Amino acid sequence: MKAMIVYATITGNNQTVADILNDQLTSRGVDVDEIEISQADPTDYRNYDLCLMCVYTYDEGALPEEGLDFYEDLAGVNLSGKLFCVMGSGDTFYEEFYNVAVDKFTKVFEQTGAKQGAQNLKIELEPDEQDVMKIDQIADELVKAIKAKE
């Protein structure tokens, strides 16, 4: 089982989320590559079972500027047979724009033919103990979903 986690971060919170997910999946025997979004190519997801994102929403609903090309290119990649999950750290101060990048990336993953492998996760600012437990549950769900496909 292989997973690629792509993350975008300003504050470091999404890298922390990606690191936690990486640790949880690795402890379950998944081979994980973790890449910052500006260094990632969405076509690389074709080489993985799990296509994972940890992304922030900027200001009033904007995607990370450093990830715009990735986002646009992802829409054209065929990921049929792959599983995805999107997570994001954000600030509820932005109310209706809170973590909308998670929803935007989810829609694009659905266009690629990938299937949702676990429920998405929206985190308020930095991950707390409850968020770590949710990430642990998501890792379980993802591994079970991969095994169910085999």
What is the span of the domain harbouring residue 129?
2-149
Q: What is the pTM of this model?
A: 0.94
Domains in the chain: how many in total? 1
Residue 150 pLDDT > 80? no
Alpha helices, H only, 33-99: 68-74
Calculate the CA dihedral of residues 29, 128, 58, 19 and round it to 10 degrees.
-20
Confidence of residue 90 (pLDDT cuts 50, 70, 90): confident
Alpha helices, H only, the chain: 13-26, 68-74, 100-112, 129-149
24-82 pLDDT, tens digit per residue, is 999 999 999 999 999 999 999 999 999 999 998 877 777 888 989 999 999 999 999 99
**Angle of CA points 58, 44, 82, to nearest 5°:** 90
Q: Are 91 and 54 in contact (CB under 8 A)?
A: no
The CATH number of residue 118's host domain is 3.40.50.360
Q: Are 91 and 57 in contact (CB under 8 A)?
A: no
pLDDT at 108: 97
Q: Are 103 and 128 in contact (CB under 8 A)?
A: no
